């Protein structure tokens, strides 16, 4: 089994894309551009290096969210070539067999492309996805006047990620002059005499360069997913104690909640909703109440596991809606803290997290203040 490392090149400033913010941190269908590639590469690589502009540390941490602990951050250089050198150097202490190098400005990465690239490395030390050129090519002068025809036969549009046998690529970069500027890593490999294999590319791997590209790619990526909805419900009795946990927020109350874990009914309902959206059973399947290791456990563990399972399925959470049901404690003063904690764990913008509360008008066990309940709905987008 080969060890695989990934280098995500995200050190550019992306000024041609407009909007002020670097393009790799702008939102694309509700999440930062860089996060799309992070989600795929983090689950496919044994080791993961992100090369960023040191001025973008805070932006990157915010975009990476819960993935930040599995990513080694390296500061890039003034050129892409220098940034890739920095990424390769970060891997030198624990050298992998294979390495994937991907541009953050190409967020439409799919698992199938990675699978094909890794298979291609059985035949050549370098591989990349590429698409044929279908339009007629013309050569023009500086004023835009056509000079002559240009033949498109044998020409391809090369994309990333590009895949290499790590040792061979390192040697190729060592042979490259320190001040050399190259368009991509395949050019470095070819300059060193390495064979390279081009595999079928993917239109969704288009590079975001101009502001209009965001609209084009959003339309393509939206069609790559199917929306799934899951629902969850949980209820627990009141018992001895001086607080309740709701959405990871400790709320003072004259009674506590009886439960095997911390009895956070809101996050339990949400965990079931997320699991239901991907057909992965319920919270009891993954964290049986009969198992003593979960006694008194923080419900954040359960919620994060549901998030991991969605990521492993290649999905992404689009929106969640939680309703707490009970007479007391009052949720209003704590609503924003509950939304913020939930958004943090799910790595969602806070406007994708809804927390509401209602009563049963004094009816039933909740109306008699015997306990609390919660229901949740989660929207998850999964690959078609």
For the chain, give every domain's residue range: 4-222, 225-383
Looking at domain 4-222, which CATH architecture does it have?
Answer: Alpha-Beta Complex (3.90)
pLDDT at 232: 98
pLDDT at 15: 62
* CATH number of the structural domain 225-383: 3.30.1330.50
**Residue written as token pair 């894309």:** 17
Full DSSP string of 274-324: HHHHTT---HHHHS-TT-GGGTT--THHHHHHHHHHHHHTT-EEEEEEEEE
Q: Which residues of the chain have pLDDT under 70?
A: 14-20
Give the tens place of pLDDT for each residue, 103-158: 999 999 999 999 999 999 999 999 999 999 988 989 999 888 999 998 888 899 99
pLDDT at 14: 63
Q: Is the CB of residue 341 less than 8 Å from the CB of residue 270?
A: no
**Residue written as token pair 């913010």:** 21
Question: What CA–CA distance (Å, rounded) separates 279 from 120?
Answer: 33
pTM flag (> 0.85):
no
pLDDT at 18: 56
């Amino acid at each position: 089994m080969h060890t695989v490392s990934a280098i995500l090149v995200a050190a550019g400033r992306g000024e041609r894309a407009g909007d002020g913010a670097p393009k790799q941190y702008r939102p694309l269908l509700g999440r930062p551009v860089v996060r799309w590639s992070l989600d795929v590469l983090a689950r496919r690589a044994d080791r993961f290096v992100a090369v960023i502009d040191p001025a973008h540390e805070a932006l990157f941490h915010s975009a990476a969210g819960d993935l930040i602990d599995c990513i080694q951050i390296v500061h890039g250089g003034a050129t892409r070539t220098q940034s890739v050198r920095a990424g390769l150097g970060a891997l030198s202490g624990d050298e992998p067999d294979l390495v994937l190098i991907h541009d953050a400005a190409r967020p439409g990465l799919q698992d199938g492309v990675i699978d094909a690239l890794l298979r291609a490395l059985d035949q050549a030390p370098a591989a990349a996805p590429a698409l044929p050129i279908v339009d007629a090519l013309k050569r023009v002068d500086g004023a835009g006047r056509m000079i002559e025809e240009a033949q498109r036969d044998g020409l391809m549009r090369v994309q990333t990620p590009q895949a290499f046998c790590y040792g061979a690529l390192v040697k190729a970069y060592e042979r490259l002059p320190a001040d050399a500027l190259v368009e991509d890593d395949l050019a470095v490999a070819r300059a060193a005499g390495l064979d390279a294999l081009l595999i079928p590319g993917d239109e969704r791997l288009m590079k975001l360069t101009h502001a209009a590209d965001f609209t084009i790619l959003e339309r393509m990526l939206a069609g790559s997913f199917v929306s799934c909805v899951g629902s969850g419900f949980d209820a627990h009795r009141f018992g001895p104690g001086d607080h309740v946990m709701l959405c990871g927020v400790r709320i003072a109350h004259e009674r506590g909640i009886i439960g095997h874990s911390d009895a956070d009914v809101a996050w339990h309902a949400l965990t079931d909703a997320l699991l239901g959206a991907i057909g992965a059973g319920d919270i009891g399947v993954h964290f049986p109440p009969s198992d003593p290791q979960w006694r008194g456990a923080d419900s954040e563990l359960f919620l994060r596991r549901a998030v991991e399972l969605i990521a492993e399925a290649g999905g992404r959470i689009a929106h969640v809606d939680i309703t707490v049901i009970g007479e007391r404690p009052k949720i209003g003063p704590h609503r924003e803290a509950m939304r913020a904690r939930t958004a943090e764990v799910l790595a969602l913008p806070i406007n994708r997290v809804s927390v509401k509360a209602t009563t049963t008008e004094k009816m039933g066990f909740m109306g008699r203040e015997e306990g609390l309940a919660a229901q949740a709905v989660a929207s998850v987008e999964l690959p078609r």
